[in-house]
Amino acid sequence: MPPAPARSARTGHCLCGSVSYLFDAQPETVVLCHCAHCQRHSGAAFSVNVLVSRDALEIKGTPKSYRTVGAENGNLRDRLFCGECGTPILTILHERPDLVIVKAGTLDDPTGLEPSAEVWWRRAQDWIEPAPDRTRFDGDAK
């Protein structure tokens, strides 16, 4: 039996369980992203993104990857997903190779991960009300 994850460790997996992960580090931040790619990738009005150190992430299984190029900023993203069930799991930021985005909906327990900022606010759906205590950026956070 493998040892239990450390107290700060978080685990998650895709819908079918073919791809799972563990990270044993505090997230750098939690951000809501309203960009068109995240809306399409998540199938929702925004994506809840947990940014963690890439070195702290362990992946089991082999996710598929699809590369996107930001229409407005040209930034490359590798979007990792389960090839069996299609669940979006991770995003690799080419401009920040030290970080990886974990899609919060894939976490086994997302308790306590409150977003501190929203990016691409100018792309937010018009029915979403701004949270007064959350920093908003019209594009990427700088």
Name the residue type at position 135: T
Please check whether residue 92 lies inside any domain of the structure: yes
Please check whether residue 31 lies inside any domain of the structure: yes
In whole angstroms, give the CA distance from residue 102 to residue 90: 5
**Whole domain around residue 101: which residue ranges?**
12-120
For the entire predicted model, the pTM comes to 0.87
> If you search the block for the tokens 């399409």, which residue do you land on?
40
Please check whether residue 34 lies inside any domain of the structure: yes
pLDDT given for residue 7 in this prediction = 52
Q: What is the total count of domains within the chain?
A: 1
Q: Which residues, 6+ apart, have CB-to-CB distance to 91 below 8 Å?
A: 41, 49, 77, 78, 79, 80, 100, 101, 103
Please check whether residue 132 lies inside any domain of the structure: no
β-partners of residue 31 are: 49, 117
In the predicted model, what is the mean pLDDT of residues 95-107? 95
* pLDDT surpasses 50 at 73: yes
* pLDDT surpasses 50 at 3: no
* CATH number for the domain that contains residue 30: 2.170.150.70
In the predicted model, what is the mean pLDDT of residues 65-75? 84
Determine which of 23-32, 72-81, 88-97 has the lowest per-residue pLDDT on average. 72-81
In the predicted model, what is the mean pLDDT of residues 94-101? 93
In the predicted model, what is the mean pLDDT of residues 47-69? 96
Q: Which residues, 6+ apart, have CB-to-CB distance to 107 below 8 Å?
A: 10, 11, 12, 50, 113
Please check whether residue 77 lies inside any domain of the structure: yes
The Cβ-side half-sphere exposure at 133, using a 13 Å CA radius, reads 3
